[in-house]
Structure 1
Amino acid sequence: MKRRRVGAVMTGDVVRAQGGTPAIELTRWMAEFGINGVPVVDGDDKVIGVVSATDLERARRTGGSSPDRSARTLMSTPAHTVRADDSVVRAARLMSSYGIERLPVVDEEARLVGMLTRRDVLRLFARSDEEIRAEVIDAIVLRTMWLDPAGVDVSVRDGVVTLEGSLDTSGQAAALVGMARMVDGVTSVVDRLAHRRTGPWRGPERGKEDDARPP
């Protein structure tokens, strides 16, 4: 299946702060660049925290937003990060789990290479129902599971995938539902699949893949 990676949708030119960057400068950057969060890095460009607009507002309300306050004292830690080769789905789930709007993207040595925002994720997931249906049929039904598309009905409405039909085993049906849930843009899957027997799905038998491929 085609999996969108963070590196393909992240912003590479990232405004970043050092631990000693003053609060007034962070506020100015957010206003000037239209952003609501700034990653904080150390001398090796490794992410050590993130200062959000919420952090600045909280400090202001408690009387702690004086110009001498720095990013180090305002930032939220630890910083939740993702790698460029992580899937966008994983990043979206991380954002949802921690209730955050942005994720610094780091390389294998934890150095900052980009930023992924919730807006980037939503833009990617704004796929048409037709695109989602085509991917489920082509990438899963045909290329991964080698099923006859005539035996599986796939419909999509507002990102909700409905699967109907009769498959060989319960494991085969469960695998199809699970893979459909992983397609970018899918919000949920309605399982109306029947199966002829209880058992696992082992994939196409070796040596019979050409016979199993639908015409």
Structure 2
Amino acid sequence: MTSTPYIVNDVMARRVIAVAPDATFKEIVTAMERWKITALPVVKGEGRVVGVVSEADLLPKEEFHGRRPGLIEQMRNLSATAKAGSTRAEDLMTAPAITVHPDAPLPQAARLMANHRVKRLPVVDANGTLKGIVSRADLLKVFLRSDDELADEIRHTVVNHLFPVSRSRIKVTVTHGIATLAGQVRDSDLIPVAVRLTHAVEGVVDVRCRLATEAST
């Protein structure tokens, strides 16, 4: 009834800057600065993702620069103090990497980012081979769809299917991503279904329902 949901493959970046496990600390920092990114997938062999190295993984080097952490401090944060003394991606990276498949729905990618508190996810195939990268900004691209495009999709995938008889009496408008359904329908039970399906259209920010049954007017 509804259009095919957007998946990661629809919005991901296919050009990815990655580093090998033996990349040096300075090479990693240089790549981040050159490409204006905050994290890099670490790939091995034919492109299999083995980890991700981010700015957070590099900061302990500065945090403990010029001083040696005490025993208690080391015990409290073994990972950070270990990374402070590391110089290569394989020792600095966070592993295993949190990844997502190209056919994953966008809400799944968003939940992974939120649950693991990361800003981007390497996109890998069934073999773990790097295919792209998806960021928070990429997930928001669906909200750049035009109001006219959203209105057309709502009419075709929601109104025309749910209300084949009443559709001529239903007006669909979208303003700044907010969809409004107005008019008269025969079956009141279908009104909440219409609202739910309209919410599910990729790029819709919110839904205003002004539908009423013919008998109530």
Partner of 1:115: 133
| Cα distance, 1:136 vs structure 2 | 1.0
The count of aligned residue pairs is: 195
The 3 A distance-change label for structure 1 pair 96 and 180 is: farther
Length-normalised TM-score, structure 1: 0.74
| Cα distance, 1:73 vs structure 2 | 3.2
Instruction: Map 1:1-215; keep pairs closer than 5 Å.
Output: 1-43=3-45, 45-63=47-65, 68-142=86-160, 144-145=161-162, 147=164, 148-167=166-185, 168-170=187-189, 172-194=190-212
SS at match of 2:162: coil
Q: Does the CA contact (< 8 Å) of 1:45 and 1:111 recur in 2?
A: yes
- Rg comparison, structure with higher value: 2
| Cα distance, 1:192 vs structure 2 | 4.2
The 3 A distance-change label for structure 1 pair 10 and 154 is: same
| Cα distance, 1:169 vs structure 2 | 4.4
Length-normalised TM-score, structure 2: 0.73
| Cα distance, 1:14 vs structure 2 | 1.6
The one-letter code of the counterpart of 1:115 is: I
SS at match of 1:79: coil
Per-residue CA deviations over 1:158-182 (Å, capped at 9, x if unaligned) read 2222333454143x23332222122
- Distance (Å, rounded) in 2 between the aligned partners of 1:96 and 1:195: 40
| Cα distance, 1:106 vs structure 2 | 0.8
Per-residue CA deviations over 1:37-93 (Å, capped at 9, x if unaligned) read 101234453323222223323543244676843223333344222222223344344
| Cα distance, 1:5 vs structure 2 | 2.9
- Distance (Å, rounded) in 1 between the aligned partners of 2:94 and 2:16: 18
Q: Which has the higher helix share?
A: 2
Q: CA RMSD in A?
A: 2.9
SS at match of 2:58: helix
- Distance (Å, rounded) in 2 between the aligned partners of 1:97 and 1:151: 44
Q: Does the CA contact (< 8 Å) of 1:2 and 1:139 recur in 2?
A: no
Per-residue CA deviations over 1:117-164 (Å, capped at 9, x if unaligned) read 22323334212222211111122222x435332343323222222333
- Unpaired runs of 5+ residues, structure 2, are 66-80
- Unpaired runs of 5+ residues, structure 1, are 197-215
- Distance (Å, rounded) in 2 between the aligned partners of 1:149 and 1:165: 9
The one-letter code of the counterpart of 2:105 is: S
Matched residues, percent identical?
A: 33
SS at match of 2:156: helix
Q: Does the CA contact (< 8 Å) of 1:24 and 1:67 recur in 2?
A: no
